[in-house]
């Protein structure tokens, strides 16, 4: 968690890894998902995704402000908020389109956006209005509205993170504590709700920003009692794993994820601290260099998230249809391989596609001139 650009290879790697985990975690019959974070922790890839989003945002903002100026950096992230909102609309449309196609072929997966689809067919204008106004967020598109909200706040968050970090942290914690109450006023259609309360999840985004802007890890670990932080983190991670694997017999209520409960946040921070130790030892960099294709996915974050949403919904539904909802190891592993391969194919195709479009545009401009 240092400020140097040498950490960017690890950042890309972890972002790519999280995107891969998100894809397999949303495939009910996945075999790989039996060994991902949610299987032995009270949190899951969502916490990592948001924290890394804050860290990556601070990295990009600082680089742009240094290369150009603060005004351009602020304007860039205001535009970024609109880009994420546009990505939400695209993802929502794809969730509805994929659900409609699969339903037409009598492939009835458990996570198809059938409720939204039924409402769209019954009252199309009202349903479309609700999606545009964020009152309705079809399956897997629901993480993007809070990201648009975060990008909108970046111009206010980043200066505070550099000059008044404690004030920013105190305000973030206070907002997180009040989030369940404030969240009741988020726009939502009847019988709908936000899967991620942005007033709660901003805490992890802010912590990611602070980890990039302030040498928090370095100061604590350099203290003569800094080793106690690692011991405490190890105890928390082990305790959460024991509870999840041995004592817990039913899933935690969804509202704990919606409002980012202290159990989830605390478990994630303990895992993040131990991971920071591995980064300092150089393990993460060595792994990232040996698996560059994972970092490639991380560098195409928004596009790979949208593609991953489609991939996981299709494969989850087809696998559920093929196995009647029962766990099937060969087909589950095949589904995992297909999901990972499809997401990698999307990441590999981005740069050649951009070059092709660039040549086409340049040729059109030259012809018109």
Mind listing the pLDDT tens digit for each residue in 277-332? 999 999 989 999 999 999 999 999 899 999 999 999 999 999 999 999 999 999 99
pLDDT at position 362, please? 66
Is 46 a residue whose pLDDT tops 90?
A: yes
Task: Report which of 181, 174, 192, 209 is spatially closest to residue 137, judged by C-alpha positions.
Answer: 192
Q: How far apart are the first and last CA of the chain?
A: 49
For residues 248-266, average pLDDT: 93
Structure tokens at 99: 């659900």
> Residues 6 or more apart from 244 whose CB is under 8 A from it?
39, 40, 41, 42
Phi, psi of 30 (to 5 degrees): -65, 140
Is 181 a residue whose pLDDT tops 90?
A: yes
pLDDT at position 59, please? 92
What is the domain partition of the chain in residue ranges?
5-368
> Residues 6 or more apart from 78 whose CB is under 8 A from it?
151, 152, 155
C-beta of residue 316 within 8 angstroms of C-beta of residue 109:
yes
pLDDT at position 357, please? 66
pLDDT at position 2, please? 44
């Amino acid at each position: 968690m240092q400020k140097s650009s040498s950490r960017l290879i690890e950042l890309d790697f972890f972002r790519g890894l999280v995107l891969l985990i998100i894809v397999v975690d949303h495939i009910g019959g996945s075999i790989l998902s039996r060994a991902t974070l949610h299987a032995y922790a009270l949190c899951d890839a969502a916490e990592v995704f948001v924290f890394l989003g804050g860290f990556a945002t601070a990295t990009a903002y600082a680089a742009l402000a240094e290369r150009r100026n603060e005004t351009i950096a602020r304007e860039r992230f205001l535009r970024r908020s609109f880009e994420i909102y546009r990505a939400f609309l695209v993802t929502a449309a794809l969730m509805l389109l994929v659900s409609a196609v699969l339903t037409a072929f009598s492939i009835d997966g458990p996570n198809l956006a059938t409720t939204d689809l039924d409402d769209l067919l019954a009252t199309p204008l009202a349903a479309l209005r609700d999606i545009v106004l964020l009152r309705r967020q079809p399956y897997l598109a629901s993480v993007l509205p809070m990201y648009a909200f975060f990008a909108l706040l970046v111009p206010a968050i980043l200066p505070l993170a550099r000059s008044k970090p404690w004030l920013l942290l105190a305000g973030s914690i206070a907002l997180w504590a009040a989030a369940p109450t404030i969240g009741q006023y988020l726009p939502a259609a009847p019988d709908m709700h936000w899967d991620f309360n942005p007033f709660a999840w901003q805490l992890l985004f802010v912590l990611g920003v602070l980890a990039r802007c302030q040498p928090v890890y370095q100061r604590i670990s350099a203290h003569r009692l800094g080793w106690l932080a690692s011991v405490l983190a190890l105890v928390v991670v082990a305790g959460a794993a024991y509870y999840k694997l041995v004592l817990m017999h039913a899933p935690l209520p969804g509202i704990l994820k919606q409002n980012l409960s202290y159990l989830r946040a605390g478990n994630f921070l303990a895992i993040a601290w131990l991971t920071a130790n591995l980064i300092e030892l150089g393990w993460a960099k060595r792994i990232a260099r040996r698996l560059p294709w994972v970092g490639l996915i991380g560098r195409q974050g928004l596009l790979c998230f949208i593609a991953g949403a489609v991939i996981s919904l299709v494969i989850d539904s087809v696998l559920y249809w093929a196995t009647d909802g029962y766990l099937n190891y060969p087909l589950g592993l095949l589904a995992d391989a297909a999901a990972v391969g499809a997401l990698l194919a999307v990441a590999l195709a981005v740069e050649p596609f951009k070059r092709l479009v660039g040549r086409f545009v340049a040729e059109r401009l030259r012809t018109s001139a």
